[in-house]
Chains A and B, each alone.
Chain A
Amino acid sequence: MGKVMTVEEVVGRLESGMTVGIGGWGSRRKPMALVRGLLRSPLRDLTIVSYGGPDVGMLCAAGKVRRVVAPFVTLDSIPLEPHFRRARQEGSVEFTEYDEGMFMFGLLAAAHRLPFLPTRAGLGSDVMRVNPHLRTVRSPYGDGEELVAVPALTLDAALVHLHRADRRGNAQYLGPDPYLDDLYVKAAAGAYVSCERLVDTADLLKEGPVQSLLVSRSMVTGVVEAPGGAGFTACEPDYGRDEEAQRRYVETPWEEYVRSEQG
């Protein structure tokens, strides 16, 4: 069965108050076409789970976010994300700040339907202080080591952008790094994949090896064809980061930026 949707149809499946995971990493292969769809929607009070980049910044600027769950928010070539920064400094969003490895274990736990996974990452740091909900567990084996029990980052919805997909939701990455996109999909009740190009299933292996088939249709709710749909973030090998567009995003006041995007 085909699952091809428009951006608006994907956004129509989401509800205010949902926990939404957004794939990519920093300012790399973010599903920006879907994020821009969220910006145009009436949705609000979202919890955004992300190795954060401009996705987090834009959604904060547009007043869509109640809570951010992230180990960082950065634009990579521009270290600090201006809108996330302002939101934090104005106190307009809540923040669950995790170590990068803890964050991955939270997604892994959710993907495996486990309540938590133990790790050393976070022990001794202020991550434990600023997240009073976090608990530790003691190893039941001889070592008796105390570890952080990272709770599952279970998602209502996942949004990811990949290079190719078929109409049923099998999706492929062609760049050097898959990031954690498959984990977001597996951690979510509903997963939506945008892609640079829809192709026939029989053509998927023409551009990459079988190992590049990152996401299986059994995990996918909707597929959107969105050429350039990660821009201005990087989507190698189809395109690199548009540094000029990113600079304009950083330097332009938000309302003016939104107007210029619509115009």
Chain B
Amino acid sequence: MNRADVCVVACAEVFRGDGEILAAGIGGAVTVLGARLARLTFEPDLLTSDGTCLLTGDVPALGEAPEVVEGWLPFRDHLWLVLNGRRHVMLGASQIDRHGNTNISCIGDWSRPRAQLLGVRGAPGNTRCDPTSYWIPRHSPRVFVPEVDVVSGVGTDRGAYGLRRVVTDLAVLDLGGPGGTMRLVSAHPGVSVAEVVAATGFELDVPADVPETRAPTAEELRLLDEVLDPRGLRHREVPEPRAGRAGAGGGAGAGEGAGAAGGAA
């Protein structure tokens, strides 16, 4: 079991109970694998896409074309679906605050940014209209900030439809703290609560008893290794932590991270 496997399973878990809606994983290998793994195991009615506009009848490996297509979702219909709401999306964020407000637009003053990022993409509509979760591959104080520079995705204090989970390379969090603030749900195996707190740049609600994030089952590991990600792309997104350093604060370009995350794309 690697850290990447734990993260994929934690991402799959965000879709538990969602039923027959689109599980949209945006932002690299881990979120897409999470959606597909959930569909192949405990949430078989989920809809998943090929990353463009095909709803797949089967559940192909990362980067592989589907053999069966069950539907068509071009961008215009994706934008309709966002307003309709039968969709749970897992977005990325370059910054996130304790109410789950997120930024993918730019760093610094919006009128003359220090670093222009993607733009708000579909984050405002996604978060206002759909259940939303986040995947943050580098849990650090550069990402978990007291205040985001540009609110792209709205948080619990700005009318979010429903923020479910925030999964990082260190832990699983939700917005179940006092007043809809961020709460530690579980720490990944090998990660201490103190490490998570140190990597979070605002006050985190920490329950007295913090469980360990559940380990992947043997069947989940087999599906990841043999069916969904035989090339191991998830391990590039989540490198195995070195002893004594669980990945906090590394933050190589965390401000510019989150890649193409955030949109309806």
Contacts and interface: CB of A to CB of B under 8 A. Distances in A.
A91 interface: yes
Describe B's contact surface by its main secondary structure: loop
B241 interface: no
Contacts of B256: 80
B86 interface: no
Contacts of A179: 74-76
Interface stretch (B10-18, B116-124, B170-178, B208-216): B116-124
B62 interface: no
A214 to B, nearest CB: 11
B121 A125 contact: no
B110 interface: yes
A97 B105 CA distance: 9
Interface residues of A, number: 40
Contacts of A71: 119-122, 263
B240 to A, nearest CB: 25
A89 interface: yes
Interface string A243-260: 000000000000000000
Contacts of B179: none
Interface in B89-131: 105-106, 110-125, 127-129
A48 B235 CA distance: 40
B119 A72 contact: yes
A101 B75 CA distance: 10
Contacts of B118: 72-74, 79-80
A127 B121 CA distance: 11
Nearest to B161: A120
A119 interface: yes
A177 B53 contact: yes
Interface in A22-40: 25-26
B193 interface: no
A104 interface: yes
Contacts of B160: 124
Nearest to B125: A121
Contacts of B72: 176
A25 B124 contact: no
A176 B74 contact: yes
A73 B119 contact: yes
A176 to B, nearest CB: 5
B239 to A, nearest CB: 20
Contacts, number: 138
Contacts of A73: 118-119
Interface in A48-100: 51-52, 70-74, 76, 79-80, 84-85, 88-89, 91, 97-100
B152 A120 contact: no
A261 interface: no
A25 to B, nearest CB: 6
Interface residues of B, number: 45
A123 B128 contact: yes
A160 to B, nearest CB: 14
B159 A126 contact: no
A174 interface: no
A89 B116 contact: yes
A178 interface: yes
A179 B154 CA distance: 26
Contacts of B7: none
Given A72-B263, A97-B120, A177-B52, A125 B153 contact: yes
A79 B115 contact: no
A97 B116 CA distance: 12
B116 A104 contact: no
B152 A72 contact: no
Contact of B79 (A80, A101, A127, A129): A101
Interface of B: 52-54, 72, 74-76, 79, 82-83, 105-106, 110-125, 127-129, 150-154, 158-160, 256, 259-260, 263-265
Q: Which A-B residue pairs are the 4 nearest by beta carbons?
A: A121-B125, A72-B119, A124-B158, A125-B124
Given A91-B112, A122-B128, A125-B158, 15 more contacts: A26-B265, A72-B118, A80-B256, A89-B112, A97-B119, A100-B121, A100-B264, A121-B82, A122-B124, A122-B125, A126-B152, A127-B124, A129-B151, A130-B110, A177-B75
